[in-house]
Amino acid sequence: MSKRLTSGLLGSLVGDALAMPGHWYYDRGALRRDYGVLDHYASPRNPHPDSILWRSQYTPVNGKGDILREQAQYWGTRGIHYHQFLVAGENTVNHRLAAELFRQVRNEGGHDSTRWLEHYVECMLTPGWHRDTYLEECHRGFFTRYAQGKALLKCGIRDEHIGGLAQVPALLAALPGTGREDHRSLVKQHVALTHRHGNVLRAADCLARLLLAIADGTPLRTAIMREAGDWLSTRKAGRWASQPDEAVIGQVFSPACYIDQAFPAALFLAWKYDGDFDAGVIANAMVGGDNCHRASVVGSLLGAANGVPPRWLEGLEALRDGTLSGALPDLQAAGGITP
């Protein structure tokens, strides 16, 4: 197991848990009024001033598609926080699935798409396994098709959101060996199980290349320049770095979840805060929007490049609730150590 890739996984989980209370805040003033500076884990609270959950709808075809269960009652209600029942340090559902993927691939010594999808279905349909009120379009689309009787491998939809990258750091950290091309192929194969969108798959491959390059010792900014030039101009990033983050992630790039904006926004934050894990994940949390899923990129790249300071591991629910218990010694060894 590469310490750098393991630190990348930890960084993504930390970034998500830190950002979770401010997830999908677009009014940065409201985010600060509600939580101050998100430089520590915090619990979400209602009302969420920017919540659009009241406009969302999901009606399961049958019991095989009932992934909302007790949470369904809150859909259609104004002011509901998307993660209202999570506690400080807890991960949102896409990152909880990432931890499950890490455990399965590591325990089984490799990745099997069907085995993973069977586990995904089991998790999502187990009462109480997740406590998120909101579930993204990728899950709703997948389980609508699953409930209609489609084969597991054909239930993914053409989803173009950055949430499709949440499991990339976990998969790379869990895979045995160092086969760069094999790992890239498996990443794209895995992401396509739920996100069959060309740009998401292209971004997933880019993130994989970046993490693998950093694991091989390439400095973060050099890796972004070499591997992500089609997503982010480092020359422009150098100019933008003097501006407030709220201006760049708001005027240059949208803070929203669509991959064409969210991925370069995340790359910019990782580039700007190269060398400072804390500052990067805090900045990502405080610019709001889809900060939880940008954390898949910001947290993993900064974690792989710099290690994860030990203070972030204390209170991270994924290390306390048993999800990663089998890998806990290795994970703790990787966290807090500059690779």
Let me know how long the chain is: 339
Return the domain boundaries, the chain. 3-318
Question: What is the per-residue pLDDT across 304-318, written as a single tens digit (0 to 9) for each?
Answer: 999 999 999 999 999
| Measured CA angle at 15 (ends 246, 258), to 5 deg | 60
> How distant, in Å, are the alpha carbons of 275, 276, 299 from that of 303?
10, 9, 6
> Could you give the 3-state DSSP secondary structure of residue 141?
helix
Of 181 and 157, the structure prediction assigns the larger pLDDT to 157
Predicted local distance difference test score (pLDDT) of residue 327:
60
Reported as a single tens digit per residue, the pLDDT across 223-238 is 999 999 999 999 999 9
CB-CB contact of 188 with 204 (8 Å): yes
Residue 280 neighbours by CB distance under 10 Å = 27
DSSP H/E element including 223: helix 220-227
Nearest residue to 171 (alpha-carbon basis) of 156, 189, 157, 155 = 189
> Burial letters for 154-189: b for 16+ Cβ neighbours within 10 Å, e otherwise?
ebbbebbbbbbbbbbbbbbbbbeeeeeeebbebbee
Q: Which amino acid is at 326?
A: G
Whether the pLDDT of residue 339 is over 50: the answer is no
In tens, the pLDDT along 160-206 reads: 999 999 999 999 999 997 678 899 999 999 999 999 999 999 999 99
Q: How far is CA 138 from CA 133, 156, 219, 277, in A?
A: 15, 7, 33, 29
Residue 253 bridge partners (DSSP): 249
CB 308 within 8 A of CB 5: no
Per-residue confidence (pLDDT) for residue 177, from 0 to 100: 77
- Note the pLDDT tens digit of each residue in 129-144: 999 999 999 999 999 9
With a cut of 80, say whether residue 330 has pLDDT above it. Answer: no
- Cα–Cα distance for residue pair 172/167, rounded to 1 Å: 9
**What CATH code would you report for 3-318?**
1.10.4080.10
pTM across the whole model = 0.96
On the question of pLDDT at 99 being above 80, the answer is: yes
Q: What is the dihedral of CA 21, 263, 233, 22, to 10 degrees?
A: -10
If you ran DSSP here, which 8-state letter would residue 253 be given?
B
The whole-number pLDDT of residue 329 equals: 63
Burial of 146 (0-12, 13-18, 19+ CB in 10 A): buried
DSSP type of residue 92? P
Counting residues of the chain whose pLDDT is more than 90, the rounded percentage is 91
pLDDT for res 180: 83
Q: What letter would DSSP give residue 165?
A: G
Strand partners, 195: 157
Nearest 5°: the CA angle 308, 89, 85 is: 155
CA atoms within 13 A on the CB side of 36: 5
Per-residue model confidence (pLDDT) at position 321: 81
CA 283, distance to chain mean position in Å, is 16
- Residue 286 to residue 92: CA distance in whole angstroms: 17
The reported pLDDT for the residue numbered 331 is 63
Percentage, residues of the chain above pLDDT 70: 95
pLDDT at 270 over 80: yes
